[in-house]
Amino acid sequence: MEKEKIAQLPPILEELDIDLWMVIEKESEVLSDPAIDYVVGTGVTWLSFFLFYRDGSAEAIVGNLDIENIERKALFSRVDAYKNSPREFLIGSLDRHQPKRIAINYSIDSPTADGLTYGKYLALMDLLQGTPYAGRLVSAEPIIAKVRGRKSPVEILRIESAIIKTEEIFARVGDMLSPGLTEKGLAALITAERKKIGLPPAWDESHCPSVFTGPQKIGAHSDPTDRTFQQGHIFNIDFGLCYDLYCSDLQRTWYIKRTGETEIPIEVKRGFDTVVNSIEKAFVALKPGMTGIEIDSIARQFILSQGYSEYPHALGHQVGRTAHDGGGLLAPAWERYGRLPYMPIEEGQVYTIEPRIYVDGFGVATIEEIVVITESGARYLSHPQKELYIIESECVN
């Protein structure tokens, strides 16, 4: 996988007019730069430099006891090991290549591109003192967005595998419900199913899955509670798992019938159908060259046009090695999202689409699908939920 990603770098650097991407790492077991997993694939102990040049050269400068591990990876055309200071090797590499624009891993908006700690930055500036290179530093955010965002066929296959396993567990949820069951209880049953297949959760196990039942104002990203499932409740689950390092992140919605109820209440059906239609409108519009803010606006404005309040979050995020991955977002122009909504959508990126609607008196209707961007548009990786899942009244109190 690291070789695939390193092979992507020369055209990316050419596209961005950047001569060198410098990844700096130290004591990986304590605090690791997220980029290391993509282009190095192993940790280091001492201050280390991984240099990826526009011309395709890849060089590493590591502490002397780390050299064997790095050389075994066979990713770098040159590996230098230092005992005292890396300065001689670092300046030597820079002098050989004479980079005009040097990208390092800092970002205001994207955590995946903000792996350079302040301490490592100060160490770098000390090493570059007296050279012209200190004045040539720029943010590597656009590089990392493309490296993480442009999924290879292998990466997409792994995400699809994670999705399939997640959907298989979702399909068993109806059989898990019983009178008196709580959100915590259902979450525990889903976790037990995940553990049976030996796969880790896509995020913190305390709220993976997140389970929400009935009319409550609790938002996403919170732990399940002792609330019991009741007739007349909408309930939804946010759940994902990791398959061979790659994640899924899906949400599904159910309705629990009341005793004697033969049809879904019109308020519930209308809310759910509005979510489905907003997803489809965003899906149809998703194409390379569009921006996240344009796609978010399509779904958001449709939901508002149907008389509902806007959802209080982005329409979607990228998915990959983490559930929230990549750079750009399908998001509104809110300050908290910075520049991310304005980044162009690219072929190979994988996004969620996840609007939500609060249905008064019943709960939250929400769906989260996963799509991949192709040359001509989007393709579903998940199997879209088009119909509300129904739980018969006798399954709960």
pLDDT in tens, 195-229: 999 999 999 999 999 999 999 766 667 889 999 99
Q: What tens digit of pLDDT does each residue of 17-48 get?
A: 999 999 999 999 999 999 999 999 999 999 99
Q: What is the pLDDT of residues 334-384, one digit of tens each?
A: 999 999 999 999 999 999 999 999 999 999 999 999 999 999 999 999 999
Of 129, 148, 167, the residue at which a domain comes to its end is: 148
Residues 144 and 265 occupy one common structural domain:
no
> What are the phi and psi torsion angles at 329 (to 5°)?
-125, 155
Q: Do residues 155 and 287 share a domain?
A: yes
With beta carbons less than 8 A apart as the criterion, state whether 254 and 312 touch: no
pLDDT score for 32:
93
The answer on 219 and 190 residing in a single domain is yes
Phi/psi for 87 (5° steps) reads -60, -45
Q: Are residues 258 and 273 in the same domain?
A: yes
For 75-121, the pLDDT digits (tens) are 999 999 999 999 999 999 999 999 999 999 999 999 999 999 999 99
Segment among 151-155, 288-292, 365-369, 385-389 with least mean pLDDT? 151-155
Q: Could you tell me what percent of the chain has a pLDDT over 90?
A: 95
58 and 204 assigned to the same domain: no
Residue 163 structure tokens: 């999705």
Task: Residue 397: name the closest of 123, 178, 133, 105 by CA.
Answer: 178
Domain finish residue from 99, 118, 148? 148
Q: What pLDDT is stored for residue 1 in this prediction?
A: 83
Say yes or no: 183 and 195 in one domain.
yes
Q: In sequence order, what are the beta bridge partners of 139? A: 104
Q: How confident is the model at residue 394 (pLDDT cuts 50, 70, 90)?
A: confident
What is the CATH number for 198?
A: 3.90.230.10
Compute the distance between CA of residue 15 and CA of residue 141 in angstroms, rounded to an integer.
14
Whether residues 290 and 354 share a domain: the answer is: yes
SS3 352: strand
* Residue ending a domain, choose from 124, 148, 172: 148
Q: Are 340 and 325 in contact (CB under 8 A)?
A: no
* Residue span of the structural domain in which 29 resides: 2-148
Write down the pTM of the prediction.
0.93
Residues 179 and 321 in one domain: yes
Q: What is the CATH number of the domain that holds 34?
A: 3.40.350.10
Q: What is the pLDDT of residue 327?
A: 84
Q: What is the mean pLDDT of residues 274-295?
A: 98
- Is 79 in the same domain as 194? no
Count of domains forming the chain: 2
- Same domain for 212 and 348, yes or no, is yes
Same domain for 368 and 295: yes
Q: Are residues 16 and 159 in the same domain?
A: no
Report pLDDT for 217.
Answer: 67
- Give the tens place of pLDDT for each residue, 226-264: 999 999 999 999 999 999 999 999 999 999 999 999 899
The CA-atom distances, in angstroms, between 297 and each of 216, 358, 373 are: 26, 19, 18
pLDDT tier, 152 (very low <50, low <70, confident <90, very high otherwise): very high
CA–CA distance, 318 with 76 (Å, rounded to integer): 29
